[in-house]
Amino acid sequence: MAYLLGVVLFALAILVSVSLHEAGHMVTAKAFGMKVTRYFVGFGPTIWSFRRGETEYGLKGVPLGGFCKIVGMTPQDDDVEPGDEKRVMWRYPVWKRTIVMSAGSATHFALALVGIWIMAISAGLPNPQFPSTEEQIRAEPAVVALADCVVPEFANRACVAGDPASPAAAAQLRDGDRITSLNGAPVNDYGDLLAAIRTVAPGSTAQIGYVRDGQDATTSTVLAQTQRPPLDDPDGTVGPVAALGVGLIPSTPARVEYGPIAAFGATANFTGDLAVGTYEAMKRLPEKVPALWTAITGGERDIDTPVSVVGASRLGGEAVANNAWIVFFMLFISLNFFIGVFNLLPLLPLDGGHIAIAWFERARSWVYARLGMPDPGRVDYLKLMPLTYGVILIGGAFTLLTITADVVNPITLFSR
């Protein structure tokens, strides 16, 4: 039930953000005097609507987005009524058209920024000092957290009946103990602990030195067996190794909370990191197509592959089912930021394509004027239709691919 609630909540959050995107176009267009005839949430048959002034507002039957109709977006539009010729969008200065067309993405960015700021003062933002690379993790002090069991195979999953109990728990170790030696070999950091465990045969007894509350102590336990690749070759052949049944408690917190004022700087820094991550993710989109196809045809789903609205909603459902609201809101923030950036790409039919054409027209007119040549006028959108259809076809195919992968082989963030 919690999972279904999460899916519905996340899908509703996406619908609201897309509706606000279209509202951004509408509000700015009206502010400049452009004529807006319709603003609807959803597509398909009209369920309910009302008219206020010259605009019809309403709700349609398929809740998959929304739209805002601005009269005369291009010179080729034939929806201009007599008397509205001066109010068509394409006649307005390029800077006004740019504001109107970018208002949708600006809305997504605003949602993301407000969300980040709220996270900063409530749950906290990811700590940039938190160890994330293998090298940083191994350099941490060997302060351990006890696992519930030892998973015998090389897999990231929850414990199930039949898994060996944690040897560390059998040795009466506790969360927060710092291991200082194993079988007499000094342990200076977590990397030393991993290396020392690998020198012991599975099923052998290990003598463990540790510090608890500032007091030195010793204990012993029989190490369990698991499957792991070599420490110096994570992609190498998996084989049987000893396991103590512990993880690392990092010396720095994973998240940092900020006051209302300091949160503005933290929001800016996190947004910068988010922008870099979004850019890198968009660069990798083409190379992820084979991985998506592999996932559809029975292979393992790469967690780094793109997700559709369906996949994002399923992840939102997982987050709610596991009471991981931080994950839920971070998904919402990341998705809004990505949509905001993607929508500004200079390709039709995206808003960025209309902005690019508007500025191309302005630059071309300026060059022709300097050369003493007559203004060439507006771009003929009809000539760009083949390119537009190509973008729609590629985008539609990619969307269908991601939706299919999210249905038949979805990404999961939590062990089941």
The CA distance from 28 to 24, in Å, is: 6
The H-or-E segment that residue 179 falls in is strand 178-182
Tokens 């191309």 belong to: 360
Q: Are 203 and 244 within 8 A, CB to CB?
A: no
Structure tokens at 207: 């003598």
What is the amino acid identity at position 283?
A: K
162 CB contacts (<8 Å, ≥6 apart)? none
For the chain, the helix, strand and coil percentages under 3-state DSSP, each to the nearest 5: 45, 20, 35
The CA distance from 19 to 111, in Å, is: 12
Looking at 22, 134, 140, 318, which residue is catalytic? Answer: 22
Q: What are the two backbone dihedrals, phi and then psi, of residue 5, each rounded to the nearest 5 degrees? A: -60, -45
Structure tokens at 372: 């003493």
For 332, other C-beta atoms within 10 Å of its C-beta total 21
Respond yes or no: is residue 22 known to be catalytic: yes
The CA distance from 149 to 332, in Å, is: 33
Helices 2-32 and 94-121 cross at an angle (nearest 10°) of 150
Q: Are 185 and 196 within 8 A, CB to CB?
A: yes
* Long-range contacts (CB closer than 8 Å, 24 or more residues apart) made by 174-177: 174/146, 174/212, 175/144, 175/145, 175/146, 175/249, 176/143, 176/144, 176/145, 176/212, 176/249, 177/143, 177/144, 177/210, 177/211, 177/212
Helices 94-121 and 325-342 cross at an angle (nearest 10°) of 170
Task: List, by residue number, the catalytic residues.
Answer: 22
